[in-house]
Amino acid sequence: MKKKILGIILSAAMTASLIAVPAAAEEIYMFISQPEYADAISELIDAYAEVAPDVTINYETTQNDYPTLLKAKLNSGEVPDIFSSTSGKEIDVYREYSYDLTGQPLEETMLPSVASAMASTEEGGGLYGIAIKGNYFGLVYNKGIFDELGLTVPETVDELTAACEAISEAGYKPFTTGYAEWWVFKHIFQHYLAAAADGAGTTVAELVGQFEKGEVKIADLPEIYNNFFDMIDLGVKYGDDKPLETDLSGELAAYGGGTAAMVLGQGAWIEADALAIDPDLQVGFSGYPVTNDPAQCRIISGSDQALHVAADSAVLDATLDFVNWWYTSDYGIAWFTDVAGVVPPVATDAESNFEVIRQGSALEEEKGSAPLGVCYSTDSWWQKFGELMQDYIAGTADKDATCAAIEENWAAIDGAA
Protein backbone atom coordinates (compact mmCIF):
# COMPACT_ATOMS: atom_id res chain seq x y z
CA MET A 1 0.00 0.00 0.00
CA LYS A 2 2.83 2.41 0.89
CA LYS A 3 4.52 1.70 -2.47
CA LYS A 4 1.24 2.34 -4.27
CA ILE A 5 0.67 5.62 -2.44
CA LEU A 6 4.29 6.66 -3.08
CA GLY A 7 3.84 5.90 -6.78
CA ILE A 8 0.73 8.07 -6.95
CA ILE A 9 2.54 10.92 -5.19
CA LEU A 10 5.53 10.70 -7.55
CA SER A 11 3.25 10.53 -10.57
CA ALA A 12 1.36 13.62 -9.41
CA ALA A 13 4.59 15.45 -8.74
CA MET A 14 5.91 14.63 -12.21
CA THR A 15 2.65 15.77 -13.81
CA ALA A 16 2.76 19.03 -11.85
CA SER A 17 6.35 19.62 -12.87
CA LEU A 18 5.43 19.11 -16.53
CA ILE A 19 2.58 21.60 -16.26
CA ALA A 20 4.86 24.12 -14.56
CA VAL A 21 7.42 24.09 -17.40
CA PRO A 22 6.93 27.34 -19.37
CA ALA A 23 6.15 27.13 -23.05
CA ALA A 24 9.17 27.33 -25.28
CA ALA A 25 9.88 30.90 -26.34
CA GLU A 26 9.19 31.67 -29.99
CA GLU A 27 11.16 34.15 -32.04
CA ILE A 28 9.66 36.12 -34.91
CA TYR A 29 12.11 37.68 -37.36
CA MET A 30 10.75 40.94 -38.78
CA PHE A 31 12.83 42.41 -41.63
CA ILE A 32 11.24 45.47 -43.22
CA SER A 33 12.05 48.77 -44.90
CA GLN A 34 10.81 52.15 -43.61
CA PRO A 35 13.34 52.94 -40.86
CA GLU A 36 11.42 56.17 -40.24
CA TYR A 37 9.01 54.03 -38.18
CA ALA A 38 11.72 52.28 -36.15
CA ASP A 39 10.87 53.98 -32.87
CA ALA A 40 7.13 53.48 -33.31
CA ILE A 41 7.51 49.81 -34.18
CA SER A 42 9.82 49.30 -31.22
CA GLU A 43 7.05 50.66 -29.00
CA LEU A 44 4.58 48.29 -30.68
CA ILE A 45 6.87 45.34 -30.00
CA ASP A 46 7.33 46.39 -26.37
CA ALA A 47 3.54 46.57 -25.96
CA TYR A 48 3.10 43.11 -27.46
CA ALA A 49 5.72 41.70 -25.08
CA GLU A 50 3.27 42.41 -22.27
CA VAL A 51 0.57 40.44 -24.11
CA ALA A 52 2.79 37.56 -25.22
CA PRO A 53 5.87 37.47 -22.98
CA ASP A 54 7.04 34.16 -24.46
CA VAL A 55 7.33 35.66 -27.95
CA THR A 56 10.44 37.57 -28.97
CA ILE A 57 10.29 39.77 -32.06
CA ASN A 58 13.67 40.39 -33.63
CA TYR A 59 13.21 43.57 -35.63
CA GLU A 60 15.58 44.72 -38.36
CA THR A 61 15.06 47.64 -40.72
CA THR A 62 16.95 49.25 -43.59
CA GLN A 63 16.09 51.37 -46.60
CA ASN A 64 18.55 51.97 -49.42
CA ASP A 65 19.40 48.36 -50.32
CA TYR A 66 16.26 46.71 -49.00
CA PRO A 67 15.00 45.09 -52.26
CA THR A 68 18.44 43.61 -52.92
CA LEU A 69 18.89 42.36 -49.37
CA LEU A 70 15.40 40.85 -49.25
CA LYS A 71 15.90 38.96 -52.50
CA ALA A 72 19.22 37.61 -51.21
CA LYS A 73 17.45 36.28 -48.12
CA LEU A 74 14.65 34.73 -50.18
CA ASN A 75 17.09 33.11 -52.59
CA SER A 76 19.05 31.62 -49.69
CA GLY A 77 15.90 30.20 -48.12
CA GLU A 78 16.14 32.52 -45.11
CA VAL A 79 12.68 34.02 -45.51
CA PRO A 80 11.89 36.52 -42.72
CA ASP A 81 8.68 35.74 -40.82
CA ILE A 82 7.51 39.28 -41.66
CA PHE A 83 8.94 41.18 -44.63
CA SER A 84 7.89 44.20 -46.66
CA SER A 85 7.38 45.28 -50.24
CA THR A 86 5.54 47.92 -52.19
CA SER A 87 1.83 47.17 -52.39
CA GLY A 88 0.00 46.70 -55.67
CA LYS A 89 2.18 44.98 -58.26
CA GLU A 90 4.67 43.62 -55.74
CA ILE A 91 1.96 41.68 -53.94
CA ASP A 92 2.10 39.17 -56.77
CA VAL A 93 5.90 39.37 -57.06
CA TYR A 94 6.16 37.92 -53.55
CA ARG A 95 2.96 35.87 -53.53
CA GLU A 96 4.72 32.49 -53.50
CA TYR A 97 6.52 33.44 -50.28
CA SER A 98 3.48 34.96 -48.58
CA TYR A 99 0.70 33.57 -46.44
CA ASP A 100 -2.88 34.23 -47.59
CA LEU A 101 -4.45 36.27 -44.81
CA THR A 102 -7.97 35.85 -46.11
CA GLY A 103 -10.28 35.02 -43.23
CA GLN A 104 -7.92 36.26 -40.54
CA PRO A 105 -9.47 38.57 -37.88
CA LEU A 106 -7.40 41.49 -39.23
CA GLU A 107 -9.40 41.37 -42.46
CA GLU A 108 -12.45 42.64 -40.57
CA THR A 109 -10.75 45.89 -39.48
CA MET A 110 -8.71 46.58 -42.62
CA LEU A 111 -10.12 49.41 -44.72
CA PRO A 112 -11.41 48.26 -48.13
CA SER A 113 -9.12 50.72 -49.93
CA VAL A 114 -6.13 49.19 -48.16
CA ALA A 115 -7.31 45.63 -48.75
CA SER A 116 -7.54 46.25 -52.49
CA ALA A 117 -3.87 47.30 -52.56
CA MET A 118 -2.92 44.12 -50.65
CA ALA A 119 -4.88 41.69 -52.83
CA SER A 120 -3.42 39.39 -55.48
CA THR A 121 -4.58 39.92 -59.03
CA GLU A 122 -3.62 36.38 -60.02
CA GLU A 123 -6.09 33.53 -60.32
CA GLY A 124 -7.67 32.73 -56.98
CA GLY A 125 -7.01 36.18 -55.55
CA GLY A 126 -6.25 36.31 -51.84
CA LEU A 127 -5.06 38.84 -49.27
CA TYR A 128 -1.28 38.73 -49.08
CA GLY A 129 -0.34 41.80 -47.11
CA ILE A 130 -1.13 44.26 -44.36
CA ALA A 131 -0.05 47.89 -44.11
CA ILE A 132 1.80 49.89 -41.48
CA LYS A 133 -0.11 52.88 -42.76
CA GLY A 134 -2.30 54.54 -45.22
CA ASN A 135 -0.40 57.53 -46.53
CA TYR A 136 -0.44 61.03 -47.89
CA PHE A 137 2.23 62.17 -50.34
CA GLY A 138 2.84 65.77 -51.25
CA LEU A 139 4.88 68.87 -50.61
CA VAL A 140 5.65 69.31 -46.91
CA TYR A 141 6.48 72.92 -46.11
CA ASN A 142 7.28 75.26 -43.25
CA LYS A 143 4.15 77.36 -42.84
CA GLY A 144 5.99 79.75 -40.55
CA ILE A 145 8.45 80.73 -43.29
CA PHE A 146 5.68 81.20 -45.85
CA ASP A 147 3.68 83.35 -43.43
CA GLU A 148 6.72 85.40 -42.48
CA LEU A 149 7.40 86.20 -46.14
CA GLY A 150 3.75 86.76 -47.02
CA LEU A 151 3.79 83.93 -49.56
CA THR A 152 0.90 81.70 -50.56
CA VAL A 153 1.62 78.05 -51.16
CA PRO A 154 2.40 77.57 -54.88
CA GLU A 155 -0.07 75.57 -56.97
CA THR A 156 1.50 76.07 -60.42
CA VAL A 157 5.01 75.58 -61.76
CA ASP A 158 5.39 79.33 -62.37
CA GLU A 159 4.30 80.12 -58.82
CA LEU A 160 6.78 77.56 -57.48
CA THR A 161 9.71 79.19 -59.28
CA ALA A 162 8.67 82.62 -58.01
CA ALA A 163 8.35 81.28 -54.45
CA CYS A 164 11.84 79.76 -54.63
CA GLU A 165 13.31 83.09 -55.68
CA ALA A 166 11.56 84.97 -52.86
CA ILE A 167 12.53 82.40 -50.22
CA SER A 168 16.14 82.36 -51.38
CA GLU A 169 16.35 86.16 -51.33
CA ALA A 170 15.08 86.13 -47.73
CA GLY A 171 18.01 83.93 -46.69
CA TYR A 172 16.21 80.60 -46.40
CA LYS A 173 16.84 77.44 -48.36
CA PRO A 174 13.77 76.83 -50.57
CA PHE A 175 14.23 73.03 -50.63
CA THR A 176 15.79 70.13 -48.86
CA THR A 177 15.78 67.25 -51.32
CA GLY A 178 16.97 63.92 -49.96
CA TYR A 179 18.43 63.01 -53.37
CA ALA A 180 20.78 60.50 -51.73
CA GLU A 181 17.74 58.21 -51.30
CA TRP A 182 16.59 56.31 -54.41
CA TRP A 183 12.99 56.16 -53.16
CA VAL A 184 12.64 59.95 -52.91
CA PHE A 185 12.51 60.11 -56.71
CA LYS A 186 9.57 57.72 -57.03
CA HIS A 187 7.59 59.74 -54.50
CA ILE A 188 8.12 62.92 -56.53
CA PHE A 189 7.71 61.29 -59.94
CA GLN A 190 4.30 59.79 -59.25
CA HIS A 191 2.76 63.28 -59.07
CA TYR A 192 4.03 64.10 -62.56
CA LEU A 193 3.11 60.64 -63.84
CA ALA A 194 -0.49 61.30 -62.81
CA ALA A 195 -0.44 64.66 -64.60
CA ALA A 196 1.04 63.01 -67.70
CA ALA A 197 -1.71 60.39 -67.69
CA ASP A 198 -4.31 63.17 -67.50
CA GLY A 199 -2.62 65.00 -70.34
CA ALA A 200 -2.56 61.88 -72.48
CA GLY A 201 -6.21 61.13 -71.76
CA THR A 202 -5.45 57.82 -70.08
CA THR A 203 -5.00 56.34 -66.59
CA VAL A 204 -1.79 55.89 -64.63
CA ALA A 205 -2.19 52.11 -64.84
CA GLU A 206 -2.54 52.22 -68.62
CA LEU A 207 0.36 54.64 -69.04
CA VAL A 208 2.64 52.45 -66.90
CA GLY A 209 1.61 49.48 -69.03
CA GLN A 210 2.64 51.39 -72.15
CA PHE A 211 6.05 52.13 -70.64
CA GLU A 212 6.47 48.45 -69.77
CA LYS A 213 5.74 47.52 -73.38
CA GLY A 214 8.00 50.21 -74.80
CA GLU A 215 5.05 51.91 -76.48
CA VAL A 216 5.50 55.46 -75.17
CA LYS A 217 8.29 58.03 -75.05
CA ILE A 218 8.90 60.50 -72.23
CA ALA A 219 9.62 63.23 -74.77
CA ASP A 220 5.96 63.02 -75.82
CA LEU A 221 4.80 63.72 -72.26
CA PRO A 222 5.60 67.35 -71.36
CA GLU A 223 4.43 66.87 -67.77
CA ILE A 224 7.40 64.52 -67.32
CA TYR A 225 9.94 65.63 -69.93
CA ASN A 226 9.64 69.29 -68.99
CA ASN A 227 7.95 69.70 -65.62
CA PHE A 228 9.34 66.72 -63.69
CA PHE A 229 12.92 67.31 -64.80
CA ASP A 230 12.49 71.05 -64.14
CA MET A 231 11.38 70.16 -60.60
CA ILE A 232 14.48 68.02 -60.05
CA ASP A 233 16.67 70.82 -61.44
CA LEU A 234 14.93 73.34 -59.22
CA GLY A 235 15.71 71.14 -56.23
CA VAL A 236 19.40 71.16 -57.15
CA LYS A 237 19.47 74.93 -57.75
CA TYR A 238 17.59 75.91 -54.63
CA GLY A 239 18.33 72.96 -52.38
CA ASP A 240 21.03 71.28 -50.35
CA ASP A 241 24.69 72.15 -50.93
CA LYS A 242 25.45 68.48 -51.62
CA PRO A 243 22.15 67.06 -52.90
CA LEU A 244 23.46 63.55 -53.58
CA GLU A 245 24.75 63.33 -50.01
CA THR A 246 21.54 64.50 -48.33
CA ASP A 247 19.42 61.62 -47.03
CA LEU A 248 16.25 61.50 -44.92
CA SER A 249 18.11 62.51 -41.76
CA GLY A 250 19.58 65.49 -43.60
CA GLU A 251 16.13 66.55 -44.78
CA LEU A 252 14.77 66.30 -41.27
CA ALA A 253 17.63 68.39 -39.90
CA ALA A 254 17.10 71.11 -42.50
CA TYR A 255 13.33 71.16 -42.20
CA GLY A 256 13.06 70.67 -38.44
CA GLY A 257 15.91 73.12 -37.92
CA GLY A 258 14.02 75.85 -39.76
CA THR A 259 16.53 76.42 -42.57
CA ALA A 260 14.53 74.80 -45.42
CA ALA A 261 11.07 75.93 -46.49
CA MET A 262 9.99 72.83 -48.43
CA VAL A 263 10.76 69.10 -48.27
CA LEU A 264 10.85 66.98 -51.42
CA GLY A 265 9.94 63.31 -51.71
CA GLN A 266 8.46 62.93 -48.24
CA GLY A 267 5.04 62.82 -46.63
CA ALA A 268 3.14 62.21 -43.42
CA TRP A 269 5.83 59.99 -41.93
CA ILE A 270 8.35 62.81 -41.28
CA GLU A 271 6.18 64.99 -39.07
CA ALA A 272 6.86 63.35 -35.72
CA ASP A 273 10.64 63.43 -36.17
CA ALA A 274 10.54 67.03 -37.39
CA LEU A 275 8.51 68.08 -34.35
CA ALA A 276 10.99 66.29 -32.12
CA ILE A 277 13.58 68.77 -33.41
CA ASP A 278 11.29 71.79 -33.06
CA PRO A 279 7.97 71.28 -31.26
CA ASP A 280 6.85 74.75 -32.44
CA LEU A 281 7.41 73.97 -36.13
CA GLN A 282 4.38 75.03 -38.19
CA VAL A 283 3.83 72.10 -40.53
CA GLY A 284 2.12 72.71 -43.87
CA PHE A 285 1.11 70.24 -46.56
CA SER A 286 0.09 70.63 -50.20
CA GLY A 287 0.15 68.92 -53.57
CA TYR A 288 3.01 69.34 -56.04
CA PRO A 289 2.66 72.12 -58.61
CA VAL A 290 2.89 69.74 -61.60
CA THR A 291 1.57 72.06 -64.33
CA ASN A 292 0.22 75.60 -64.61
CA ASP A 293 -3.27 74.29 -63.87
CA PRO A 294 -3.92 74.72 -60.12
CA ALA A 295 -6.53 71.94 -60.26
CA GLN A 296 -3.75 69.41 -60.89
CA CYS A 297 -1.93 70.39 -57.71
CA ARG A 298 -3.25 67.44 -55.75
CA ILE A 299 -1.95 65.29 -52.96
CA ILE A 300 -1.71 61.51 -53.34
CA SER A 301 -3.32 59.15 -50.88
CA GLY A 302 -3.26 55.39 -50.48
CA SER A 303 -1.38 52.53 -48.88
CA ASP A 304 1.95 52.14 -50.63
CA GLN A 305 3.74 49.58 -48.47
CA ALA A 306 2.76 46.00 -47.62
CA LEU A 307 3.97 43.67 -44.89
CA HIS A 308 3.92 39.97 -45.77
CA VAL A 309 3.72 37.00 -43.43
CA ALA A 310 5.97 34.19 -44.64
CA ALA A 311 3.90 31.24 -45.85
CA ASP A 312 6.42 28.68 -44.56
CA SER A 313 7.30 30.44 -41.32
CA ALA A 314 8.41 28.07 -38.57
CA VAL A 315 6.49 30.30 -36.14
CA LEU A 316 3.47 30.94 -38.34
CA ASP A 317 0.87 30.74 -35.56
CA ALA A 318 2.82 33.15 -33.36
CA THR A 319 3.30 35.53 -36.29
CA LEU A 320 -0.41 35.46 -37.15
CA ASP A 321 -1.27 36.09 -33.51
CA PHE A 322 0.96 39.17 -33.54
CA VAL A 323 -0.38 40.76 -36.74
CA ASN A 324 -3.98 40.02 -35.75
CA TRP A 325 -3.40 41.64 -32.35
CA TRP A 326 -1.85 44.62 -34.12
CA TYR A 327 -4.91 45.15 -36.34
CA THR A 328 -7.68 44.30 -33.86
CA SER A 329 -6.61 45.20 -30.31
CA ASP A 330 -7.40 48.56 -28.77
CA TYR A 331 -3.70 49.34 -28.43
CA GLY A 332 -2.85 48.18 -31.95
CA ILE A 333 -5.57 50.30 -33.57
CA ALA A 334 -4.69 53.35 -31.47
CA TRP A 335 -0.98 52.86 -32.30
CA PHE A 336 -1.46 54.14 -35.85
CA THR A 337 -2.60 57.60 -34.79
CA ASP A 338 -1.19 57.93 -31.28
CA VAL A 339 2.29 56.46 -31.72
CA ALA A 340 3.19 56.19 -35.40
CA GLY A 341 1.26 59.30 -36.45
CA VAL A 342 0.16 57.78 -39.74
CA VAL A 343 -3.05 57.53 -41.71
CA PRO A 344 -4.72 54.48 -40.14
CA PRO A 345 -5.15 51.50 -42.51
CA VAL A 346 -7.89 50.22 -40.20
CA ALA A 347 -11.37 51.45 -39.38
CA THR A 348 -11.23 53.86 -36.44
CA ASP A 349 -12.99 56.98 -35.19
CA ALA A 350 -9.78 58.36 -33.69
CA GLU A 351 -8.72 61.79 -34.91
CA SER A 352 -5.09 62.44 -35.70
CA ASN A 353 -3.14 65.23 -34.05
CA PHE A 354 -0.70 65.34 -36.97
CA GLU A 355 -1.02 68.27 -39.34
CA VAL A 356 -0.06 66.40 -42.52
CA ILE A 357 -2.86 63.93 -41.90
CA ARG A 358 -5.40 66.62 -40.97
CA GLN A 359 -4.49 68.85 -43.89
CA GLY A 360 -4.19 65.91 -46.27
CA SER A 361 -7.68 64.74 -45.38
CA ALA A 362 -9.08 68.24 -45.95
CA LEU A 363 -7.25 68.64 -49.28
CA GLU A 364 -8.44 65.25 -50.49
CA GLU A 365 -12.02 66.18 -49.67
CA GLU A 366 -11.67 69.59 -51.35
CA LYS A 367 -9.71 68.74 -54.51
CA GLY A 368 -9.59 64.97 -54.68
CA SER A 369 -6.33 63.05 -54.86
CA ALA A 370 -4.08 61.72 -57.60
CA PRO A 371 -3.49 57.96 -58.08
CA LEU A 372 -0.83 56.16 -56.04
CA GLY A 373 1.52 55.63 -58.97
CA VAL A 374 4.30 53.90 -57.01
CA CYS A 375 2.15 50.79 -56.69
CA TYR A 376 1.99 50.07 -60.42
CA SER A 377 5.70 49.21 -60.63
CA THR A 378 8.11 47.04 -58.66
CA ASP A 379 10.73 48.24 -56.21
CA SER A 380 13.37 46.70 -58.47
CA TRP A 381 12.32 49.15 -61.15
CA TRP A 382 11.97 52.10 -58.78
CA GLN A 383 15.43 51.53 -57.32
CA LYS A 384 16.88 51.57 -60.83
CA PHE A 385 14.86 54.70 -61.62
CA GLY A 386 16.30 56.44 -58.55
CA GLU A 387 19.82 55.48 -59.56
CA LEU A 388 19.27 56.85 -63.08
CA MET A 389 18.03 60.14 -61.63
CA GLN A 390 21.07 60.31 -59.36
CA ASP A 391 23.26 59.88 -62.45
CA TYR A 392 21.37 62.75 -64.07
CA ILE A 393 21.96 64.99 -61.06
CA ALA A 394 25.64 64.00 -60.97
CA GLY A 395 25.93 65.09 -64.61
CA THR A 396 27.00 61.69 -65.92
CA ALA A 397 23.93 61.56 -68.19
CA ASP A 398 21.93 64.37 -69.78
CA LYS A 399 18.14 64.52 -69.85
CA ASP A 400 17.67 62.74 -73.17
CA ALA A 401 20.07 59.96 -72.22
CA THR A 402 18.34 59.61 -68.86
CA CYS A 403 14.92 59.41 -70.52
CA ALA A 404 16.18 56.74 -72.91
CA ALA A 405 17.60 54.74 -70.00
CA ILE A 406 14.33 55.07 -68.06
CA GLU A 407 12.34 53.77 -71.03
CA GLU A 408 14.76 50.91 -71.69
CA ASN A 409 14.96 49.75 -68.08
CA TRP A 410 11.23 50.09 -67.41
CA ALA A 411 10.53 47.71 -70.27
CA ALA A 412 13.39 45.38 -69.34
CA ILE A 413 12.67 45.13 -65.60
CA ASP A 414 8.90 45.34 -65.28
CA GLY A 415 7.89 44.60 -68.86
CA ALA A 416 9.94 41.44 -69.25
CA ALA A 417 7.87 38.35 -69.93
DSSP of 80-102, one letter per residue? -SEEEEESTHHHHHTGGGB---T
Q: Do residues 209 and 332 both lie within one domain?
A: no
Q: Do residues 169 and 239 both lie within one domain?
A: yes
Does 320 reside within a domain?
yes
pLDDT given at position 5:
35
pTM for the model stands at 0.81
Q: Do residues 289 and 146 both lie within one domain?
A: yes
Does 63 reside within a domain?
yes
pLDDT given at position 70:
94
pLDDT given at position 18:
38
Q: Do residues 201 and 256 both lie within one domain?
A: yes
User: What is the average pLDDT value for the chain, to the nearest integer?
Assistant: 91
Give me the amino acid identity at 145: I
Does 384 reside within a domain?
yes
- How many domains is the chain built from? 2
Give me the amino acid identity at 405: A
Give the chain's radius of gyration (CA, Å): 24
Q: How confident is the model at residue 175 (pLDDT cuts 50, 70, 90)?
A: very high
Q: Do residues 325 and 290 both lie within one domain?
A: no
H or E element at residue 58: strand 55-61
Per the DSSP assignment, residues forming a β-bridge with 55 are: 26
CATH number of the domain encompassing residue 43? 3.40.190.10
Interval 294-309 mean pLDDT: 94
Does 56 reside within a domain?
yes
Closest to 346 (Cα-Cα) out of 147, 155, 180, 104: 104
Q: Do residues 290 and 308 both lie within one domain?
A: no
pLDDT given at position 342:
82
Q: Which residue range is the domain that position 206 belongs to? A: 139-298+378-413
Q: How far apart are CA 253 and CA 14, in angstroms?
A: 62
Does 237 reside within a domain?
yes
pLDDT given at position 172:
98
Closest to 228 (Cα-Cα) out of 203, 202, 196, 198: 196
Give the SS3 label for residue 197: helix
If 0-12 CB within 10 Å is exposed, 13-18 middle and 19+ buried, where does residue 35 land? middle
pLDDT given at position 24:
60
pLDDT at residue 196 above 80? yes
Q: Do residues 183 and 254 both lie within one domain?
A: yes
Q: What angle do CA 284, 182, 255 make, to 5 degrees?
A: 30
Does 2 reside within a domain?
no
Does 48 reside within a domain?
yes
Ordered DSSP codes for 280-339: T--EEEE----SS-GGG---EEE--EEEEEBTT-TTHHHHHHHHHHHHHSHHHHHHHHHT
Give residue 123's Cα distance to chain centre: 27
| Residue 118 to residues 36, 46, 57, 156, 304, Cα–Cα distance (Å) | 21, 26, 23, 34, 9
pLDDT given at position 87:
93
pLDDT given at position 343:
84
Q: Do residues 50 and 194 both lie within one domain?
A: no
pLDDT at residue 14 above 60? no
- Residue-wise pLDDT tens digits, 55-108: 999 999 987 788 889 999 999 999 999 999 999 999 999 999 999 999 999 999
Q: How far apart are CA 269 and CA 132, in angstroms?
A: 11
Q: Do residues 199 and 247 both lie within one domain?
A: yes
Q: How confident is the model at residue 388 (pLDDT cuts 50, 70, 90)?
A: very high
Q: Do residues 258 and 150 both lie within one domain?
A: yes
If 0-12 CB within 10 Å is exposed, 13-18 middle and 19+ buried, where does residue 200 land? middle
Q: Do residues 249 and 269 both lie within one domain?
A: yes
Whether 144 contacts 259, CB under 8 Å = no
pLDDT at residue 22 above 60? no
Of the candidate ranges 6-10, 25-29, 190-194, 223-227, the one whose mean pLDDT is the lowest: 6-10
Does 9 reside within a domain?
no
Q: Do residues 329 and 264 both lie within one domain?
A: no
> 221-234 b/e with 16+ CB inside 10 Å = b?
bebbbebbbebbeb
